[in-house]
Amino acid sequence: MLNAQINEVFDINKGSGNSGPTNFIVFDGKLYFSADDISGENTGGEDKGRELWVTDGTAGGTNLVKDIRVGSSNGSPFAFFIFNNKLYFSANDGTGSDLWTTDGTDAGTTKIDLFPGVTEAVQRAIELDGKVYMTGISTTGDTNDLIVWDGTTATNANTTANDESILSTMAVLNGKLLMYASYEPDDATVDNELYEFDPTTGVFKLIKDIDPGTQNSSISNLTTLGSKVYFEADNELWETDGTEAGTIKVLKAEEAGVNNVTNFYAWDNKMFFEGDDGTGDQLWVYNPSANSVSKISNISGTNNNHDPSDYVAYDGYLYYKGEDANDTSSHLFRTNGTTVEQLDNTITDVDDLVLFNDKIYFEGDNGTTGRELFSINLSTLSIDNIFNASVSVFPNPSADFIKVNVDFNVVVIFSI
């Protein structure tokens, strides 16, 4: 195990209670997130509910931005995204969830009414060709419709009156949006399946009916890597090049017996994901160039599930949260793509990792102050127990050769 310098940035909800910081996003040199100071000690003596917070990485620079839903009820900021150098998110001021923007000040945190009279509740934002595509409630009143916004004007992306319901995050491939959706013209013969949306024509098109007929394929985790999008369908690893013929299972994963795939992340020209070959949920990697699937972690003990997720790539490593062999609480881990290392076992309930100023910030619990905002200084990682290692040298003294016995892997000997 590595020794990691982990610091609590700020105890937002004083005492042992949880502020539960989540939905982190870095913007304009600061870290924005949602949290709840139930104690009210850091929000003027009042519980203002789950609202918008910001930090510069210091305790003194961590503060509430705005009480969006005035009082103790929750504004619950979520679905953060950056577009045209501005920060946007969804929140509820008591009249329903709408799109908001912030410059980090109370006065500069304002609601954007995309469709007057409609609480859009937008989410799953993705940028393509200078516009943002989001799912939400459109002018027709349908939920999970595709909305397109240029920063000024929002419209229904669908150019016809047909209704769509997008049920997953979206991915960009070859200038089109790929998504898991149902589409009204196909409902009689096709259930929820893999679709594409072409912004140039405003048309939805079925890519492939993976589960033919009125069964749905339960697609999730659409993630672009190179010239393909990888995703989960029916608990297995799939890939698509945007064509029906090119939408296929990843056979190497099927041959390895990997199921229950989830939590995808593209890094180092490979696809990392959680999967189970019957030995528990472990960290796996698919290398498209070598057409190989490998299990990286092998957590076993009283707990067999590693459950990797919330990845952050930095300086040749992929950092993430995962469970160790001793309990089902999440801890900090990292991988170089071949092996895994646990960074710490004192901070539990790790969640929502984000890279900010060469540190990783996350929600965690030190057992005293509850689930609060923590950071890890990656430059101070060091190997644990090195000074407790056993070393023996014999014969001693020696005028010629010596033998060295150690209980660790590397020995450096200098002649002085």
pTM of the model: 0.89
Max Cα–Cα distance, the chain, nearest Å: 92
One-letter identity of residue 111: K
Q: Compute the distance between CA of residue 387 and CA of residue 154 in angstroms, rounded to an integer.
A: 62
**Parallel, antiparallel or unpaired: strands 340-342 and 330-335:** antiparallel
Q: What is the 3-state secondary structure (H, E, C) of 183-216?
A: EHHHCCCCCCEEEEEECCCCEEEEEECCCCCCCC
The DSSP symbol for 255 reads: H
What confidence score (pLDDT) does residue 129 get? Answer: 96
Strands 236-240 and 359-365 come out as unpaired
Q: Is 282 exposed, middle or buried (0-12, 13-18, 19+ CB in 10 A)?
A: buried
d(Cα 329, Cα 350) in Å, to the nearest integer? 8
**Residues present in the chain in total:** 416
- Taking the C-alpha atoms of residue 373 and residue 26, their distance in angstroms, rounded to an integer, is 14
Cα–Cα distance measured from residue 314 to residue 365, given in angstroms and rounded to the nearest whole number: 23
> What residues contact 315, with CB distance under 8 A and at least 6 apart?
378
To the nearest 5 percent, what fractions of the chain are helix, strand and coil? 5, 50, 50
Structure tokens at 411: 């020995």
Rg over CA atoms, the chain: 25
Joined tokens for residue 245 = 């013929």
* pLDDT of the residue at 159: 78
Of 303, 309, 313, nearest in space to 283 by CA? 309
Could you read off the pLDDT tens digit of each residue along the chain, which spans 416 residues?
Answer: 777 789 999 999 999 999 999 999 999 999 999 999 999 999 999 999 999 999 999 999 999 999 999 999 999 999 999 999 999 999 999 999 999 999 999 999 999 989 988 999 999 999 999 999 999 998 888 899 999 999 999 999 987 878 899 999 999 999 999 999 999 999 999 999 999 999 999 999 999 999 998 889 999 999 999 999 999 999 999 999 999 999 999 999 999 999 999 999 999 999 999 999 999 999 999 999 999 999 999 998 999 999 999 999 999 999 999 999 999 999 999 999 999 999 999 999 999 999 999 999 999 999 999 999 999 998 887 543 323 334 444 455 555 555 554 443 444 454 44
Q: What does each C-alpha distance from 303 to 220, 279, 306, 333 come to in angstroms?
A: 26, 11, 8, 16
